[in-house]
Amino acid sequence: MTVALGASAYSVAVFHLMTHAFFKALLFLGAGSVIMGMHHNQDIRYMGAVRKYMPITWITSLLGSLALIGTPFFSGFYSKDSIIEAVHESNLAAAGFANFAVLAGVFVTAFYSFRMYFLVFHGKERYDQNPDAHHGDHHDDHESHSPHESPWVVTVPLILLAIPSVVIGFMTIQPMLFGEFFKDAIFIDAEKHAGMKILTEAFHGPVAMALHAVSTAPFWLALAGVVVAWYMYLINPAVPAAMGRALRPLVVLLENKYYMDWINENILARGARALGSGLWKVGDRTLIDGLLVNGSWKLVGMVSNWTRKLQTGYLYHYALVMILGIFLLMTYFVWLNK
């Protein structure tokens, strides 16, 4: 979506936001349905063959995944393909890199979506391999580990979201991108950003767009992603395992999210606490309260302690001081102040 904004294809960005809302909501609810069906296990390594137990969740998730990877005629196809086209036509400096990035993204998206899809819904059942599942106490039937389809409150929304995930792009691409939907709400300087103009000229209806896509790179990249996922996770799981070993440092870096959490926790949060603690102990307690506030009453106490010693109440002390005073004054006036 932000790529589309970068290419000044604002209507495409909003269009993608809308199609994405349907299929991503569908996928999240599908995931939730699977997690409920799997008795609150959400580790896809310990799923598999769920399609047999949760048919509605299976079909709707498949539709959502197909929409997500941009299968022609699905809603995601129309918005994603338009974005790719817009970037392709853009003449901005970084458009070449963006073009490469979105194409690579197509492959990666297809790969990871279908990795999840295959691991969850196909393959062998791996429910009893989960080391954590046996001491889970939030489900009643400890005997049965097999999943179950979710109740209607879950499946009905899944179906309702699956319908637009499939058809909404087909139905609305014409008015939203090339029609009057936005009217004057969006302004594009066609001189500088010709992308939308070229897109409009090339558009000959949603059917033609989908058929044409079969001969373009994104379609084949997406297909390749699906096939690679299928091969690696259903046919030959040794491949990803070997890759994981070979790229161990990279895996560790990514598993730790580039150590961003560590930096947050240990440098930013700990630093802020250390700073606060320093300001409090040194600034507030030692300097302001210790030195100035309590220091001033101690000073007052000291001065009064001192002056109190002068007020002895003994007449001979006062007389002595008086004589000394007279002596000093006379010395001053008689000898020094000539």
Residues that bind another protein (CB under 8 A): 272-273, 275-277, 279-280, 283-284, 288-289, 292-293, 297
Q: Quick one: which of 210, 167, 199 has its CA closest to 75?
A: 167
Contact 127, 146 (CB under 8 A): yes
Least distance in angstroms from the C-beta of 260 to another protein? 17
Rounded to whole angstroms, the Cα distance separating 180 from 193 reads 19
Q: What span, in angstroms and rounded, lies between the C-alpha atoms of 123 and 118?
A: 7
Q: Provide the minimum distance between the beta carbon of 318 and another protein in the complex, in angstroms, as a whole number.
A: 33
* Residue (303 or 322) nearer to another protein, CB: 303
Which is nearer to another protein, 253 or 300 (by Cβ)?
300
Contact between 37 and 53 (Cβ < 8 Å): yes
**Between 129 and 294, whose beta carbon lies closer to another protein?**
294
Report, in Å, the least distance between residue 331 CB and another protein: 41
Nearer to another protein, 101 or 291 (CB): 291
CA angle in degrees (0–180, nearest 5) for 112-261-252? 50
Closest approach of another protein to the CB of residue 204, in Å: 47
Q: Which is nearer to another protein, 279 or 324 (CB)?
A: 279
- In whole angstroms, how far apart are CA 204 and each of 81, 174, 208, 209? 14, 9, 6, 7
Count of positions (residues) in the chain: 338
* CA torsion through residues 56, 59, 62, 66, sign: negative
Least Å distance, CB 226 to another protein, is 42
DSSP annotation of 86: H
Cα–Cα dist 192/105, whole Å: 26
In the complex, the smallest distance separating the C-beta of residue 268 from another protein, rounded to whole angstroms, is: 10
- The residue among 135 and 192 lying less far from another protein, judged by its C-beta, is 135
